[in-house]
Structure 1
Amino acid sequence: MGFKDFRFKVAIRVVLVGVTMAGVAWSINDPNMIVTTVLFGLVSISQLLELYRFIARTNRKLTLFLESIKYSDFISGFSADNQLGSSFKDLNIAFNEVLEAFRKARSEKEEHLQYLNTIVEHVSTGLISYDTEGQVQLINATAKRFLKVDTLRNIDELIESQSRLYKVLFDLPTGKSTLHRIEGDIQLSVHATDIILRGTQIKLVALQNIQPELQKKELEAWQNLTRVLRHEIMNSITPIASLTSTMKDILIEDLTEKQGQYELPEEAVEDLQEGLGTIEGRSQGLIRFIDAYRDYTSIPLPKIGKVAVKQLLEYTMRLMKVELRKSNVTISINVKPESLMVNVDEELIEQVLINLVKNAVEAFEPDHPAPEINLTADVDRLDNPQIKVRDNGKGIIREALDQIFIPFYSTKSKGSGIGLSLSRQIMQLHNGTLTVESESGEFTVFTMTF
């Protein structure tokens, strides 16, 4: 067994090399032993080469092991030189265990990748990713169905078949979303985000068909609108019908004919005048309601331009200055950063701000000790600009929070009920949102997010 031990064989070779080199040193000083010296020299060289070959076998094993890891070749094994001793056998076992661990890790990685690929292929959201050159890295079955393609290697291939969608994909900023209608009854919500993959910038786009949800929300909106319209119209028509019937009865009972002329008692005349005045008032109210509905449904498309938020808020404050002073309301403006800009239609957004500030003023009770409105602007965690209108008034009851954006719903006795719904519609035309947070008796905050 000792001759099979690697260390023993190395020691033997080193000893033999030493003996041979000693023979060379001994014979080289004797001129009569030139041949012997040459033979000793040749033997020494051959022994050194054999020692090198023997030692290099370990280096080759290590090189083979590292190359197996480098090229993911985990099929190879190490056992051919186990007979060289326990140290080699232990090294082979360690190498094989490491390769087995890599083999198992790669297998789990491939299974996980296959699992993710299956999920991506079966989700109802279309996914497509491409680099800065337009080379498509990933596209799932849903995206292919939306784009009406079997394969897509480069995003530029959409220029001919889906030119409008192609423009949407390239113009859509990171973190933003937009709506796009394609042929048929499909309304897509398009959302884009950027990722860095192995040093390459990749744009990931999600395409989601929101048409079913839109139809559901549209139906709910029409039901709410119909309910409000029915309520408002019936509030006007019912007293008109009732008064008309009463006036008819008055004419039947009190109208008399004398000498070819019709006469009415003074009391009946007063009742008719009162009834006609009431009918006129309710009719005018119905006309105003119809005008408000017309205004709500005829908002012009926004003319987008860059606007300084601080300048926008200061202008709004100047417009409301007289009303604020009359109501003894303190107003403050805080914009961070002061150079904050938004891409909006300035006139439409001014209309939203005026409406929100006006509502805030009207939210204060007459005996409020210190009415205050705060206009603040900053960016949210997604770097979207936002403007907040906060007041410390009576707040909005929880039951009304879900209703205040419904057209013609109002918590005020003389309110038209279109201000907030109109404001939200304007924000939606800017691909933004208008939300509210309130605590009854404490505060109300309206947030405009662009």
Structure 2
Amino acid sequence: MIFKRFSLGLLWRIVLIIFLSAGLAYCLTQLFQAKTEVIYWLSCALLFGVIVYRGFDLYYYSNATNRKLARFFDSIQYDDFSIKFSSDNTFGKSFQGLNKQFNKVLEAFRKIRAENEASLHLVNTIIQNVQTGLMLYDQYGRIELSNGAACKLLGFYRLKNIAELKANHAELAEKLHDTTDKHFLYQGANGLQVSVNIVSIRLGGQIKNLVSLQNIQPEMQQKEVEAWQNLTRVLRHEIMNSLTPILSLIGTMKHIVDTELPATANDNGAKGDLQEALQTLESRGIGMINFVDGYRSFTSIPSPSFAEVQVAPLILQIMNLLQPEMVAAHISFSVESKAGDQLVQADPEQLSMVLINLIKNAKEALEHTKDALIHITTYTQNQWVFIDVTDNGPGIEPEALEDIFIPFFTTKENGSGIGLSLSRQIIQQHGGTIKVVSQAGKGSRFTVQLKIKMPAGST
């Protein structure tokens, strides 16, 4: 291009159009003077065409800045910050400065968008990995955001609308639609206890509801265990304090009767009866102390000595240990491992004690069952390892199902009611849970759930 500056280029185009217009005017003047030479007609046509062309060129050239502004605003509107303004830098310093400012603004927008995307990715990652269930829905019940914890807690793979909760959680769906009660405790199936908190916020001119769902069942179970431990500790202390002086007094009385109370011919065996009564009292007192002292383990479980434990070999060791008892009891004993070589962080001795207790409970339940069987299954799901102990025994009555983990509750004639309570306490100390599903006449399934030991450096 001959003229490098916009102003000179504009001036050059205007001057050219003026000269062309003058030429066109001269040719038209000659035609109006009745000169009909072909050369004037051709000149008029040619000059008119050139003037029109140069007029469009002048218009296009003078609107270059407007087009640049339009491109700039379009790039902002559609978040296209990849374009660069530099093609007309040859028009002069003013265009170079304008292009530089445009590029700076676009670069600033580009950085802001990158930072927003990084922040959004971080927030989304936190939301999806937090253990608290989160849901965001609008006034029509449309769920715009829900994390994996919420779906898992409510038993859904994906949620799109609050109305979908009516199938399994009708009461919760109704309260979420109403939103009058901002904080409440929801109790669902299988003992599920969820603390629900609703916060209403305004986004984009609409009211959105942010719901947090916190599973408090493990905390409630822990508090229950602690309450029973405290009660047991107090009762044990009081009973021991009462029985100890009584036994001491009985021992003193026995000594007096044996050494200082002579037998006579007229006592009709009264001394012997007294000695027998004191001996019975002493035996029952000692038996009571031993019985109460047997609950010491429930109130003083040692802290787990954690180690990396591979589930499959541990189950195999337990199976080999108990197989002779199962053969003697005519029980089919089998294991199905779907957990592979997954590791858990656990105390192998305590975990073995829990599993042995569950298996022996199942064995005792199968005492009068024909074709009795106990089946152990291990599998993984969502960073958890599950161990199922299933039997085909008589099952557990519904009224007893909710109480079997309560200390001292038992359905056995000679049971202490400590085994399952102790097992649940041990598993809770491992950061897991133990649950039971049973139906009268159709057997029972106890499930131990433990966290998978993730490799170092994994998220």
TM-score between the two structures when normalised by the length of structure 1: 0.50
2:364 to 331, 354, 362: 362
**Matches of 1:256 and 1:270 in 2, distance apart?**
12
1:330 aligns with 332
The number of residues matched between the two structures is 295
1:312-358: CA deviations, max 9, x gaps? 11111111123212221111111115434433222221111111101
1:169-197: CA deviations, max 9, x gaps? xxxxx979xxxxxxxxxxxx9xxxxxxxx
The 1:351/1:251 distance shift into structure 2, 3 A limit, reads closer
Deviation for aligned residue 1:392: 1.0
1:71 to 46, 60, 77: 77
1:400 aligns with 400
The 1:36/1:131 distance shift into structure 2, 3 A limit, reads closer
Residue pair 2:436, 2:444 contacting (<8 A) in 1 also: yes
SS of the aligned residue for 1:394 comes to coil
SS of the aligned residue for 1:273 comes to helix
1:164 aligns with none
Residue pair 2:306, 2:347 contacting (<8 A) in 1 also: yes
**Matches of 2:301 and 2:277 in 1, distance apart?**
36
1:187-245: CA deviations, max 9, x gaps? xx9xxxxxxxxxxxxxxxx99798xx95x767654554566678889999999999999
1:315 aligns with 317
Deviation for aligned residue 1:37: 4.9
1:120 aligns with none
SS of the aligned residue for 2:290 comes to helix
SS of the aligned residue for 2:302 comes to coil
**Matches of 2:282 and 2:241 in 1, distance apart?**
9
Residue identity opposite 2:404 in structure 1: I
Residue pair 1:247, 1:272 contacting (<8 A) in 2 also: no
Residue pair 1:377, 1:387 contacting (<8 A) in 2 also: yes
1:358-378: CA deviations, max 9, x gaps? 11111123x321111010011
1:18-57 to structure 2, matched below 5 A, reads 37=42, 40-50=45-55
SS of the aligned residue for 1:276 comes to helix
1:425-444 to structure 2, matched below 5 A, reads 425-444=425-444
Unaligned runs of 5+ in 2: 1-23, 28-36, 80-115, 131-147, 151-194, 196-211, 451-459
1:386 aligns with 386
**Matches of 2:258 and 2:124 in 1, distance apart?**
92
SS of the aligned residue for 1:319 comes to helix
1:12-34: CA deviations, max 9, x gaps? xxxxxxxx9xx9xxxxxxxx977
**Matches of 1:375 and 1:346 in 2, distance apart?**
17
Residue identity opposite 1:40 in structure 2: A
The 1:330/1:271 distance shift into structure 2, 3 A limit, reads farther
1:263-282 to structure 2, matched below 5 A, reads 263=264, 265-266=268-269, 269-270=272-273, 272-273=275-276, 275-277=278-280, 279-282=282-285
**Matches of 2:46 and 2:352 in 1, distance apart?**
101
1:377 aligns with 378
SS of the aligned residue for 1:261 comes to coil
Residue pair 1:336, 1:377 contacting (<8 A) in 2 also: yes
**Matches of 1:36 and 1:424 in 2, distance apart?**
108
**Matches of 2:423 and 2:440 in 1, distance apart?**
22
**Matches of 1:247 and 1:304 in 2, distance apart?**
49
1:281-306: CA deviations, max 9, x gaps? 44234324324323542323231214
Residue pair 1:396, 1:444 contacting (<8 A) in 2 also: yes
Residue identity opposite 1:276 in structure 2: Q
1:445 aligns with 2:445: yes
SS of the aligned residue for 1:328 comes to coil
SS of the aligned residue for 2:304 comes to coil
Residue pair 1:131, 1:137 contacting (<8 A) in 2 also: no
Unaligned runs of 5+ in 1: 1-19, 24-31, 74-128, 144-173, 177-188, 190-205
SS of the aligned residue for 2:404 comes to coil
Moved more, 385-394 or 265-274: 265-274
The 1:436/1:242 distance shift into structure 2, 3 A limit, reads same
1:196 aligns with none
Deviation for aligned residue 1:387: 0.6
**Matches of 2:117 and 2:252 in 1, distance apart?**
76
The 1:325/1:435 distance shift into structure 2, 3 A limit, reads same
Residue identity opposite 1:312 in structure 2: L
SS of the aligned residue for 2:408 comes to coil
**Matches of 1:332 and 1:418 in 2, distance apart?**
27
Residue pair 2:387, 2:449 contacting (<8 A) in 1 also: yes
**Matches of 1:392 and 1:327 in 2, distance apart?**
14
Deviation for aligned residue 1:52: 7.6
SS of the aligned residue for 1:408 comes to coil
Residue identity opposite 1:412 in structure 2: K
1:106-121 to structure 2, matched below 5 A, reads none
The 1:209/1:329 distance shift into structure 2, 3 A limit, reads closer
2:307 to 271, 285, 304: 304
Residue pair 1:228, 1:409 contacting (<8 A) in 2 also: no
**Matches of 1:283 and 1:438 in 2, distance apart?**
39
Residue pair 1:348, 1:426 contacting (<8 A) in 2 also: yes
1:115-140: CA deviations, max 9, x gaps? xxxxxxxxxxxxxx996999779999
1:293 to 279, 293, 296: 296
**Matches of 2:434 and 2:75 in 1, distance apart?**
56
TM-score between the two structures when normalised by the length of structure 2: 0.49
1:239-268: CA deviations, max 9, x gaps? 99999999999999xx8999x835554365
1:137-169: CA deviations, max 9, x gaps? 9999xx9xxxxxxxxxxxxxxxxxxxxxxxxxx
The 1:66/1:133 distance shift into structure 2, 3 A limit, reads closer
**Matches of 1:376 and 1:357 in 2, distance apart?**
12
Deviation for aligned residue 1:277: 3.3
Residue identity opposite 2:304 in structure 1: L
2:421 aligns with 421
**Matches of 2:258 and 2:358 in 1, distance apart?**
58
Residue identity opposite 1:304 in structure 2: A
Q: CA RMSD in A?
A: 5.5
